[in-house]
């Protein structure tokens, strides 16, 4: 069947229009049309593609809607291993890192790029002639799962990258897929209403979603992504000289790159960046668990090399666990399957590290004694190992004079 000229014109126009609005909405955060107008465009596009399936193409915005079911994911070997970062926790460890970099780079000057460490899921994206061709999970670092169908539904991942002078025909982009804090709360609320799985935190929700075997379901979840590294193949004609330039190129190619980043000459400035964001993490729409510090020059990165697990040219600076203050309202005595009685604190609900917390574990009666807890106390809580919140300490200054001690039940509850 020959396809009428006007249909070809219409589909070309529709695709361009939809990708422009995708870019405005998902990358630039500045919507150009209403949701309804957008839906109408998409509906018409899918209508034409259903009528003329020969017009379907992998970079059509209609591919964002998903629908592909995969029995299992294929295993894919990474062209370049996906290393993880070694962690630092205190200033002194960053100074040690800097001393090692200084020693190993010899007498050369070097710069650091400081970024936020997004608490999500690492992914690798491959592009051929500008088209998104393969998306892989980190897996064990050597090989991961082919989750291309799922990643196509993530609107902030360009199906077609903008190409220009100097960009090789094939390249790889690495980044973090994550869910914003408010989107996560809404998503869990929706899950609760329909009796679906409730997720512990945004990272867990992003990881669980990427493993779904139905990309149509993935399309309905609010995944987004920040790109944090551009990789050229060894066979490319030109070489990327600096990580910072790579981030700028990614931005120009239409990827979402976190604007919170900086390039510094000295480790002291890097430390100031870390301290600043450790204090301001609450102000972000997404969760971070630290900062990442990378030597900027790719030549120097290669010179520094890597150990079996992590590169010597980069390091993570992990922030301390988030803490908030709330009120201890009452204590429940829970009887477990083995008959052991565990006290559980009921708290005034507060938002902490990705979810609303209204209960905390108290372990046992000794713990209540040790922490000197009274009913109505203001307490500091944090998430232990990310999941179950625990009470760190009591804010004694705020205790009411006649506060009641917590007493265990006399008989078995
Ligand atoms: S660079 C070899 N930059 O943190 C360097 N990683 O162990 C590779 N992450 O799971 C990572 N934000 O996915 C880098 N701005 C950022 C990051 C980042 C989050 C994750 C990464 C990996 C872990 C590092």
Which ligand 1 atom sits nearest the alpha carbon of residue 176? Answer: 13
User: Does any ligand 1 atom lie closer than 6 A to the CB of residue 271?
Assistant: no
Q: Which DSSP symbol is given to 282?
A: G
- Count of CB atoms within 10 A of residue 155's CB? 20
Which ligand 1 atom sits nearest the alpha carbon of residue 311? Answer: 2
The structure tokens listed for 163 are: 């190409």
Does the structure show a pLDDT above 80 at 296? yes
User: Does any ligand 1 atom lie closer than 6 A to the CB of residue 75?
Assistant: no
Write out pLDDT tens, residues 250-286.
Answer: 999 999 999 999 999 999 999 999 999 998 888 899 9
Burial class of 243 by CB neighbour count within 10 A (0 to 12, 13 to 18, 19+): buried
Rounded-to-integer distance, Cα 159 and Cα 133, Å: 8
Does the structure show a pLDDT above 80 at 155? yes
Write out pLDDT tens, residues 170-181.
Answer: 999 999 999 999
Give the residue, by CA position, lying nearest to ligand 1 atom 21: 122
Predicted pLDDT at 66: 83
Rounded-to-integer distance, Cα 26 and Cα 256, Å: 8
User: Does any ligand 1 atom lie closer than 6 A to the CB of residue 178?
Assistant: no
Confidence tier at 347 by pLDDT (50, 70, 90): very high
Confidence tier at 387 by pLDDT (50, 70, 90): low
Q: What is the mean pLDDT of the chain?
A: 92
Predicted pLDDT at 385: 56
Mean pLDDT of 316-337: 88
Does the structure show a pLDDT above 80 at 386? no
85 conformational bin, left if phi > 0, alpha if psi -120 to 50, beta if neither: beta
Q: Determine the straight-line distance between the first and last CA of the chain, rounded to whole angstroms.
A: 76
Specify whether 117 is catalytic: yes
Q: Specify the long-range contacts of residues 204-212, CB closer than 8 Å, at least 24 apart.
A: 205/179, 206/120, 206/121, 206/177, 206/178, 206/179, 207/121, 209/150, 209/179, 210/121, 210/123, 210/137, 210/147, 210/150, 210/151, 210/177, 211/145, 211/147, 212/150
Inter-residue contact 18 to 38 (CB < 8 Å): yes
Write out pLDDT tens, residues 180-203.
Answer: 999 998 999 999 899 988 888 899
Maximum Cα interatomic distance, the chain, rounded to a whole number of Å: 86
């Amino acid at each position: 069947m020959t396809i009428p000229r006007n249909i070809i014109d219409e589909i070309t126009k529709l695709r361009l229009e939809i990708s422009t609005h995708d870019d405005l909405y998902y990358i630039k955060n500045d919507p150009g049309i209403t949701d309804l107008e957008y839906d109408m465009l998409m509906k018409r596009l899918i209508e034409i593609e259903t009528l003329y399936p020969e017009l379907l193409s992998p970079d059509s915005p209609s591919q964002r809607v998903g629908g592909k079911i995969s029995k299992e994911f294929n295993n894919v070997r990474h062209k370049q291993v996906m290393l993880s970062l070694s962690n630092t926790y205190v200033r002194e460890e960053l100074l040690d890192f800097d001393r090692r970099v200084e020693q190993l780079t010899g007498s050369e000057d070097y710069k650091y790029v400081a970024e936020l460490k997004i608490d999500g899921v690492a992914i690798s994206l491959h592009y051929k002639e500008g088209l998104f061709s393969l998306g892989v999970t980190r897996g064990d670092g050597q090989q991961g799962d082919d989750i291309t169908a799922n990643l196509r539904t993530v609107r902030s991942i360009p199906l077609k990258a903008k190409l220009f002078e100097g960009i090789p025909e094939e390249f790889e982009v690495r980044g973090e897929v994550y869910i914003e804090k408010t989107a996560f709360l809404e998503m869990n609320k929706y899950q609760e209403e329909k009796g679906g799985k409730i997720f512990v935190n945004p990272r867990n929700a992003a990881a669980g979603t990427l493993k779904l075997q139905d990309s149509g379901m993935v399309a309905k979840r609010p995944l987004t992504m920040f790109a944090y590294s551009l990789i050229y193949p060894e066979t490319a004609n030109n070489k990327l000289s600096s990580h910072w330039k790579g981030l700028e190129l990614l931005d120009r190619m239409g990827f979402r790159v976190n604007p919170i980043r900086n390039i510094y000459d000295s480790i002291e400035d890097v430390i100031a960046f870390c301290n600043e964001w450790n204090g301001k993490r609450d102000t972000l729409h997404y969760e971070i668990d630290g900062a990442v510090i990378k030597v900027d020059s790719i030549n120097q990165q290669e010179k520094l090399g890597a150990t079996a697990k992590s590169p010597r040219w980069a390091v993570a600076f992990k922030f301390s666990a988030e803490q908030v203050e709330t009120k201890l309202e009452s204590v429940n005595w829970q009887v477990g399957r083995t008959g052991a009685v565990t006290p559980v604190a009921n708290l005034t609900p507060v938002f902490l590290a990705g979810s609303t917390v209204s209960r905390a574990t108290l372990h046992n009666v000794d713990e209540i004694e040790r922490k000197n807890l009274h009913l109505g106390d203001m307490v500091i809580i944090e998430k232990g190992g990310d999941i179950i919140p625990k009470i760190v300490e009591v804010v004694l200054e705020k205790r009411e004079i006649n506060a009641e001690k917590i007493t265990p039940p006399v008989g078995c509850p």
